Amino acid sequence: MDLGIKGKVAVVTGASAGIGLAVARGLAAEGSNLALCARNALRLDQAVKAVGEEYGVRVIGVPADVGIRSDVDRVVQAVSQEFGGADILINNAGAGSEETILEAPDERWQHYWEMHVMAAVRLSRALAPAMGERGGGVILNNASICATQPLGYEPIYNVTKAALVMFSKCLANELIPLGIRVNALNPGLVMTQSWQDAARRLTEDQAMSWETYLENIARDNAPIGRFASPEEIADFMVFLCSTRASYCVGSTYYVDGGWLNVVT
């Protein structure tokens, strides 16, 4: 199936590992050129080289913390200089949190607000005008099932991801006249390095292995009984970026193995 994105320029944040790297590979497999952003410069450089060599597309890397305004400006400048603009923006950068509302200081709230919400606001605001001039495009915001079904140990993550979903809806209404489709994605359990690291930490003094710990989480929460691979999430994201998804706009899609406990 031709997804119609060969030769397009895609910007992917949080692109050096996990879902971000998987969607970068998925877009590259369809012939899209890439601007990849991540905080870890070494890991980003490895990703840029690997994706470029494997798929033969043009790939640049921009080391950046998109939660910092000046780093966002640097990403936008690099994309403009190298490609003249972008056709696809994947706002994927993010991280889990662990706190209580009563104990978390303002600085912690602000950190996640900048990372999960303002990064998407700033990148969208900066890249959308040229995207419209190029004939339209796609902005896809990677949120979380926690935007709707919160986990008790990460209230800041829940709140900021919910805000990202609402931002996506508002932006979709504003940009559709420019031919830019905006959607959000709410993944459930995804087997990323952060999940594995957390499981190792939580089981280091227990008889239970970290693998069994994660298997129990999947069995207790997802009717499908397992975590998704990053590639399974990325495949759906690539489809939403394609011309095959031309009527998909202003929506939030759940890819959660049946975890969500309400009808929405």
Catalytic residues: 157
Residues 6+ apart with CB under 8 A from 170: none
Q: For every residue of 140-173, which 3-state class applies, written as one string?
A: EEECCHHHCCCCCCCHHHHHHHHHHHHHHHHHHH
C-alpha to C-alpha distance for 259 and 264, rounded to whole angstroms? 12
Q: Facing residues of 35 across strands? A: 11, 60
Helices (H), the chain: 18-29, 41-55, 69-83, 106-113, 119-133, 155-175, 193-203, 210-221, 230-241
